[in-house]
Every structure is written in C-alpha cells, then in structure tokens.
Amino acid sequence: SKDIIKHFYKEIPILGVCLGHQCIGEVFGAEVINSGVVIHGKTSKIYHDGKSIFTGVENPFEAARYHSLILKRDTIPSSLEVTARTEDDIVMGVRHKNYKLEGIQFHPESFLTPDGLKILKNFICL
C-alpha cells in the first residue's frame, strides 16, 4: 500500500509489482490512468535499461501482463526514472534515483515471464 511505501522506502528495498508499481508512482506524484485496453494473461516484449533488477536479463524479454491501469509517462516525477517500457512506449518499470525502490507493471512471478526469476533474484541482491 501507499502508506507502507511512504513509511519504509528510505529504510528497506521495496519492489512494487503491478498495483505496487502504480502505488510507487502515485506516492511520488505520477498519475495512474486507464490504459484503454484490458490486458490479462497476455505477454509483451519489455525493453529495459539493463541496470539493477534488469542486470543480465535479455533485452527485450517477454513478460506477463495483467492490468488495465498504467502510469502516465509525462507525469512521472524527476525522483523516478523509467527503467522499462513496451514497444509502444507504455511504462513497465520505474526506479527511485536515490533509494532501493523499484516498480514493475508486469508480473515476474508468472510462468509467462521466463526471466522473472532472474529479476526477483536481482532484487534480493540489491
């Protein structure tokens, strides 16, 4: 939840997945909007910056998506950087510039995300 993010983001690493990613965005000032398309159980190619949780992950990689809400790109604050996106430039990842705080819109735990375990292991090693 947003309260947990606000309380702990300076103290412990946090990985927000899907709604957690959206909460991170909202806590720091991004707007969550309806994407106009419901995407449930579908995969997309995800392009990323190769840093932090994406170290050693194929670029692009296939990831499972289950959502209808997204972060509006032009509202993402300067404290967050976009770390991953789809081919059509939908934000799929954000990272705080000063803290170990990452958000991903896709689902690394899904069998439809072959590199998901690598992403989760990278987070544990932060």
11 is a catalytic site residue: no
Task: Write the single-letter amino acid at 8.
Answer: F
pTM, full prediction:
0.95
pLDDT at 79: 98
21 is a catalytic site residue: no
The residue annotated as part of the active site, out of 18, 48, 67, 96, is 18
| Confidence band, pLDDT 50/70/90 cuts, at residue 5 | very high
Tell me how crowded residue 21 is: count the other CB atoms within 10 A of its CB.
27
Tell me how crowded residue 121 is: count the other CB atoms within 10 A of its CB.
13
Answer yes or no: are the C-beta atoms of 65 and 112 closer than 8 Å.
no
| Confidence band, pLDDT 50/70/90 cuts, at residue 26 | very high
The residue annotated as part of the active site, out of 7, 87, 109, 125, is 109
- CATH 3.20.10.10 at 2-124, yes or no: no
List pLDDT tens digits, range 47-97: 999 999 999 999 999 999 999 999 999 999 999 999 999 999 999 999 999
Tell me how crowded residue 79 is: count the other CB atoms within 10 A of its CB.
16
Residues 74 and 118: their CA atoms lie apart, in Å, by: 29
107 is a catalytic site residue: yes
